[in-house]
Structure 1
């Protein structure tokens, strides 16, 4: 009998690889932070002796969810000035609040709140884009959540950097300082085609190739953006970016609600990844990403929440359900984007987009033990005919009971193990009062 650190047994294991497989009464064997074995529970108990054995007889184990696009510090702006036209919302509320408050303390507490929310919702890895990325990296490391840190680039000055060259220089310094941290990976994060000029984009292409890092960028988010770019540059944003060399497997294109057939073909041929943020797109009336057409063309499509200022939550269960339902409604095909595809988009497809599929995104031996346990025995969930279907169409994040990252328990029986919830509540209350007061003053002016 082989000695190992831990075993986790469950009623169902849904490994994502191979696709659409459900394993009854199976166990994950975990050692040194990785999945050593996956086998029937009775056999696991004969072959292994573990320091700890967690038995979850009414649960499903799934890979930790991957939020492939968010702005984590913006949790502090959740619900600020909802239900307004986009430019009114941005110019009169969000941008003034950011201009007044965004600094290290804002980013620290917002990232901490985001990490708490994501872990309680079964998310074990997030891909971020915001100012002061080194602070978000520090929070992720302290909490133990996995993070792809976006090294933001924008033409405009902020409290963090003055111009494109300084953004890139500071981002490279953060990458070099933390590249040995197993919980952190990095992406270049130019904000959007309309906020980043040609020179820094060309430099990022060179650096991405040299360092083998993804490039994470909002692209074709709204019709207004595409029309404005076409008038300014004479071509649509995707064509401009391709002309700069910014396409291919390094590119993670966020939103993509405005796509023509030839552009979808180009994305598939180039190996570009698309990150779909359905609830944010719906709330801001940005349009519909043609997910089913992209998938049929062979494009890797992942899921993200966007920030809570434009979504109001970081709930990947909600995104999976909305993505599946929206794809059916937009395509007119009830078989479009089935449940197992939605789950893969929120796990393995996100890992592929981030260049992390060798380590996370599915529950197979050799990968990191990033695991989410979902309680499936509430009355609201009974009966269970198909656990994968239930995860997407019935379950919610409140049914996540336990979360592990690299085998470390970060949520146990709904309790966070590395975050002081009482202290976090206190911190957020202070921010709420300050931001609300400032927003009222801005509107009054």
Structure 2
């Protein structure tokens, strides 16, 4: 007697599935989804026998992958995309970005900018982003409106801004936002001290204590430029990473952003501490920060995720772009063509990012029991033919324009390359209004105490 098929919400049938928990690519398999979670991954014929789905999605020329995890961004800065190109980091920050923020950043700015970022990221297969910016409640609202997963920063600096008056105020407001967001399963928080050159020892110690008490990751720029390191050495004789280690920040929950300029002993120390790195290759190149030693970090066993940085310094929130660039740079810098194969790059953009955020039991791979955060990439176009290796195609051929479907917790957010949420926010018109406002402001004056 044939068993009665189990009724489920969704069955996704794909030509290829990259689960990421192994390097194997499954062919002609299906993912069964119910109540937002992955029930099983199994051969197509068996799936059709076992399950009666309310909805069936057939992806005959597609690769199904986990939703991409953007391990570092400043989402609201999408409104400042291209505002000050072709400048080194400190000049870009001090003479352009910080003055523009001093004039414009508000709850509404962050809400509108993050809405724009969520739309861009979802259309590019990004289902989770790790954000470092101000007014995190506004960012939480935007992510929730789009059904997206977000890890939001308790962003902390010493100098005053539109959001807070000093480091203690930044922390208090960030923790209050975390409390206000409550138990939203798609929203989590990180402690986010901006950088060693903008945060004091006292504040870093406070951050380390809070991280231990609240079991939160720490998300911090570090060793982004040579100037950052030389300034630190001239001020107190220590490289920034050594200072953070002495202050107790470097551990399993630490996410070091950029980490372009690391020496051998620093790579070994990060690996020994089980800390993570957020690699942002496009931003590193655009700001001429340098080439991160990704091959050496990978060989040392460091957990490396991929980030876009903000659209003001990239200028796109595109993890397909970052995957390919990360692979090519690692090969070119190391002189080893075998460095960073496609399967490893995909893991960086998914499971490694989830692990850095402490979310790897929930997302990052297509695994039974995990949340159904999924992305379908179409290889139907002529520029994707023929396809011998779908993972190679994903990293070296496809672009975000090939993303056809995106699900978060089993809910379809992008269908046939169309974003299903956000039409009511009139994002084009909203972006134009902010552009007009930013264009009339004359930048060049530092906000108060910005050099502290």
Fold similarity call, TM over 0.5: yes
Task: Name the counterpart of 2:169.
Answer: 166
Residues 1:323 and 2:326 are matched in the alignment: yes
Residues 1:429 and 2:436 are matched in the alignment: no
Residues 1:9 and 2:21 are matched in the alignment: no
Residues 1:277 and 2:285 are matched in the alignment: no
Task: Name the counterpart of 1:155.
Answer: 158
CA displacement at 1:225 relative to structure 2: 0.2
CA RMSD of aligned residues (A): 1.4
Partner Cα distance (2:13, 2:35) in 1: 18
TM-score, normalised by the number of residues in structure 2: 0.96
CA displacement at 1:41 relative to structure 2: 1.1
Partner SS state of residue 151, structure 2: strand
Partner SS state of residue 93, structure 1: helix
CA displacement at 1:88 relative to structure 2: 3.5
Partner Cα distance (2:283, 2:382) in 1: 30
Cα displacement string for residues 155-201 of structure 1 (whole angstroms, at most 9, x for unaligned residues): 01111111111111111112222241100011000000110001111
Task: Name the counterpart of 1:180.
Answer: 183
Aligned residue runs from structure 1 range 34-433, under 5 A: 34-420=37-423, 423-433=426-436
Instruction: Count residues in correspondence.
Output: 442
In structure 2, runs of 5+ residues without a counterpart are: 446-452
Partner Cα distance (1:30, 1:185) in 2: 23
CA displacement at 1:289 relative to structure 2: 1.0
Task: Name the counterpart of 2:450.
Answer: none
Partner Cα distance (1:77, 1:167) in 2: 22
Kept in 2, the 8 Å contact 1:402–1:409? The answer is yes
Partner Cα distance (1:144, 1:351) in 2: 18
Cα displacement string for residues 298-357 of structure 1 (whole angstroms, at most 9, x for unaligned residues): 110100000011100000000000000000111011111111111000000000000000
Kept in 1, the 8 Å contact 2:159–2:165? The answer is yes
Cα displacement string for residues 24-69 of structure 1 (whole angstroms, at most 9, x for unaligned residues): 1111100110000110111101001011111111111000000000
Aligned CA distance change for structure 1 residues 338 and 441 (closer, same or farther; 3 Å): closer
Kept in 2, the 8 Å contact 1:303–1:319? The answer is yes
Partner SS state of residue 321, structure 1: helix
In structure 1, runs of 5+ residues without a counterpart are: none
Partner Cα distance (1:286, 1:39) in 2: 45
CA displacement at 1:439 relative to structure 2: 4.2
CA displacement at 1:89 relative to structure 2: 2.7
Partner SS state of residue 210, structure 1: helix
Partner Cα distance (1:318, 1:396) in 2: 7
Partner SS state of residue 383, structure 1: coil
Kept in 2, the 8 Å contact 1:179–1:185? The answer is no
Task: Name the counterpart of 2:31.
Answer: 28
Aligned CA distance change for structure 1 residues 62 and 55 (closer, same or farther; 3 Å): same
Higher mean C-alpha deviation, range 22-31 or range 84-93? 84-93
Partner Cα distance (1:25, 1:432) in 2: 47
Cα displacement string for residues 92-150 of structure 1 (whole angstroms, at most 9, x for unaligned residues): 32222111110111111100000000000000000000011111011111210000001
Task: Name the counterpart of 2:448.
Answer: none
TM-score, normalised by the number of residues in structure 1: 0.97
Higher mean C-alpha deviation, range 53-62 or range 430-439? 430-439
Kept in 2, the 8 Å contact 1:410–1:418? The answer is yes
Kept in 2, the 8 Å contact 1:304–1:316? The answer is yes
